[in-house]
Chains A and B, each alone.
Chain A
């Protein structure tokens, strides 16, 4: 007897779940707005961003030169600077005023000034100076000009030192130039590129934001179309809370598993971003990320009344979420308050975990903290989602009940 009851219960739940899945999937694919966010945004935004940053780094920054020394040494210095990858000399100016004019017209982004005593000082064994002036509108200009000049000055210094020392052997020269040699190894982003740095974070953020927008938009539509302006209709398929929550979540999750493969698997490959992670580790990591985002989105969606409001409210947070995650702005210096706030967004952990697994080849143990946090968020948002849906169901029922009562009341009043 009891067995039969359970069997009936399970069969009914499964049928309801299947019904809700089908309904939700149809709604997603019939609503152009939802399609825009679920399909087109994750499809095209990564390509756009990749195109912007795909050159990775700035080369050949135009600079102006004022050479007051006009000696073979100053010319050698400038020739070597011109030959670097970072900098291109666009003009040799007669004086500083002329060079400044070039900067004002944005034809040059920096000035290299070689003072008149440049060679004299070197010959007289005094320290000689080269002045560089950088336009600070972009730090990459500054970095490029500085790197080029530092590198050239170091090589020329080494040369001068070796000449002066009057050594006998090449080995001695090496020691004079640099008693302790050093090498800098840039790992995980060997070209120190902008795309390899910012895109992984942006990709995760695109996944989260588009999901939030899409789910919010759908919820807004449902409430606008519903006669009682409620999120969940009152009918026999929408009885069990878990069936509704799991049914909707299943549809979103299925779409986003596909989108994740595209955004996080194919896009990095096509645009040659660093991708040294183990795909299996990544899949394990993305599971709680997607789940927490789905439940987060569903929780938020219970608060949305009008479909377009969701765009107004959510879009401006994207940049904040990027900065708060600790990728572009080092997390070590993010103020405590904002750091605490960042913990409520799955993207914070998602971005950090993804960057470490995908870009830095970390294993699951190394992102344990993020993984745990994401599961915690999943549990938390699952509960909040259930609570808010339960509230919505109860409200919808109360409203329906009241509507029926009112109708009856009208009838009786009409009969009298």
Chain B
């Protein structure tokens, strides 16, 4: 008897506890749904959300992809100062013009004119063949020809340099080959004499030296980081600015975790879709090297979106002023492009700056992309970068208390 009643009581308690849990979860679900509704209304009322989430990324994608659609710049304008004016010098000029990256657009009477054209920005480099070059070459007196390259435009300068150096080598080679042929050497013999050691370059995974592959793989996600972190700080900060932070937290039942989650999920979904768009654009439509397959890059992109949201939350928790946190997010995002090491390797930076590069999410994403998509190495070679991106999204959890405090107690300072 006694045992039975005990059992019944136990069951009854369990039953009520169960309904209690169900009731609680139903209440929580309704609360969350209300919060979502509130968030959607906020987003609908402010066009700037859609500007940042949809319009800005689309503009960036369209801009950078169409800007670099040639991949490797071709037919860059260069000048020629040919004071020799013989068949040899003209053939040098013709060959140079025929090269892929250079196109002789102007001929000058002297160096000064060429220099002026360079200062006007009309040409990136010029080739100088002094008077008597052919004459000297025939008399075996070693004439000198020169190329002047304007490195104030570094990319254009480097590209024309390659062609000019090649042409100079060829000019020299052509002269020597003539002598060898005259002595009765065959072509293979002649080449073996002219160039005993040949360097064969293998540009792994980007043999076209495609600048679009080289830059867009990092520029587009970098833009996303910038926009996501700024918008995250904006979303939280405007609650204080509008004096609605109290209402927001009350609606979330006083749980900063729930309030924040509901705020960030809609942004996450849309940014994730924009991220997926660039992944499919680059690796699906434009067929950029992606040795790991698109799913892995989608995973990396997801990490990137979450990390940037984390960065936004963290910066706002540390600097609970809308203006300051957004400015620092902007600073972080823009500096990220340089600190990622995509254009200028981190290895080459000032030692004081090198260590700081780990503080930028784009740096980790860049290394992940290089490891997975470009080189096709297994993910474990970049596990530290995965961890770092996860840390960016996890660290803000330690600052949630502070964030709640500032949401409840701070007033908006313009």
- CB nearest neighbor in B for A334: B67
Contact bitstring B310-351, A, C-beta under 8 A = 1, else 0:
000000000000111011001101110111011111011110
Given known contacts A136-B204, A137-B370, A197-B154, is B322 in contact with A55 (CB within 8 Å)? no
- A125 at the A/B interface (Cβ < 8 Å)? yes
- B6 at the A/B interface (Cβ < 8 Å)? no
- A398 at the A/B interface (Cβ < 8 Å)? no
Residues of chain B with a CB closer than 8 A to A190's CB: 151
- A386 at the A/B interface (Cβ < 8 Å)? no
- CB nearest neighbor in B for A337: B66
Check B153 against A308 for contact (C-beta < 8 Å): no
Residues of chain A with a CB closer than 8 A to B158's CB: 143, 192
**Which of these, A104, A137, A174, A185, contacts B374 with CB under 8 Å?**
A137
- B91 at the A/B interface (Cβ < 8 Å)? no
Q: How far is the CB of B300 from chain A (nearest CB, A)?
A: 15
- CB nearest neighbor in A for B128: A185
Residues of chain A with a CB closer than 8 A to B157's CB: 186, 189, 192
**Which of these, B124, B133, B189, B353, contacts A125 with CB under 8 Å?**
B189
Complex Cα gap A181–B150 (Å):
21
Check B339 against A52 for contact (C-beta < 8 Å): yes
Residues of chain A with a CB closer than 8 A to B198's CB: 127-130, 153
Contact bitstring A40-74, B, C-beta under 8 A = 1, else 0:
00000100110111110111010000000000000
Given known contacts A140-B345, A332-B73, is B152 in contact with A360 (CB within 8 Å)? yes
- Which of the 9-residue segments A10-18, A29-37, A286-294, A374-382 touches chain B? A29-37
- A258 at the A/B interface (Cβ < 8 Å)? no
Check B196 against A157 for contact (C-beta < 8 Å): yes
Contact bitstring A113-147, B, C-beta under 8 A = 1, else 0:
00000000010011111111111111111110010
Complex Cα gap A36–B119 (Å):
36
- A175 at the A/B interface (Cβ < 8 Å)? yes
Check B171 against A136 for contact (C-beta < 8 Å): no
Residues of chain B with a CB closer than 8 A to A51's CB: 350, 352-353
Check A196 against B77 for contact (C-beta < 8 Å): no
Residues of chain B with a CB closer than 8 A to A137's CB: 342, 366, 370, 374-375
- CB nearest neighbor in B for A44: B331
Residues of chain B with a CB closer than 8 A to A58's CB: 344-345, 347-348
**Which of these, A126, A172, A225, A330, contacts B76 with CB under 8 Å?**
A330
Within 299-323 of A, Cβ neighbours of B (below 8 Å) are at 306-309, 311-313, 315-316, 318-320, 323
Check A183 against B144 for contact (C-beta < 8 Å): yes
Residues of chain A with a CB closer than 8 A to B118's CB: 187, 360
Complex Cα gap A45–B335 (Å):
9
Residues of chain B with a CB closer than 8 A to A331's CB: 121
- Which of the 9-residue segments B26-34, B226-234, B259-267, B394-402 touches chain A? B226-234
Q: How far is the CB of A50 from chain B (nearest CB, A)?
A: 9
Check A176 against B176 for contact (C-beta < 8 Å): yes
Given known contacts A132-B200, A134-B203, A335-B69, is B348 in contact with A316 (CB within 8 Å)? no
Check A129 against B200 for contact (C-beta < 8 Å): yes
Residues of chain A with a CB closer than 8 A to B69's CB: 335
Residues of chain B with a CB closer than 8 A to A172's CB: 140
- A253 at the A/B interface (Cβ < 8 Å)? no
Q: How far is the CB of B331 from chain A (nearest CB, A)?
A: 8
Contact bitstring B34-72, A, C-beta under 8 A = 1, else 0:
000000000000001001100010011001101111100
Q: How far is the CB of A32 from chain B (nearest CB, A)?
A: 7
Q: How far is the CB of A75 from chain B (nearest CB, A)?
A: 14
Residues in chain A within 8 A of chain B (CB atoms): 31-33, 36-37, 45, 48-49, 51-55, 57-59, 61, 77, 103-106, 122, 125-143, 146, 149-150, 153-154, 156-157, 160-161, 164, 172, 174-176, 178-190, 192-194, 196-198, 200, 217, 221, 224-225, 274, 306-309, 311-313, 315-316, 318-320, 323-324, 327-335, 337-338, 352, 355-356, 359-363, 366-367, 369
**Listed A/B pairs (9) with beta-carbon separation below 8 Å:** A139-B211, A157-B197, A179-B142, A180-B133, A181-B172, A186-B149, A192-B158, A315-B334, A328-B154
In addition to A61-B347, A122-B196, A137-B374, 7 A-B residue pairs with Cβ atoms within 8 Å of each other are A122-B197, A139-B211, A185-B148, A185-B149, A198-B154, A312-B48, A329-B155
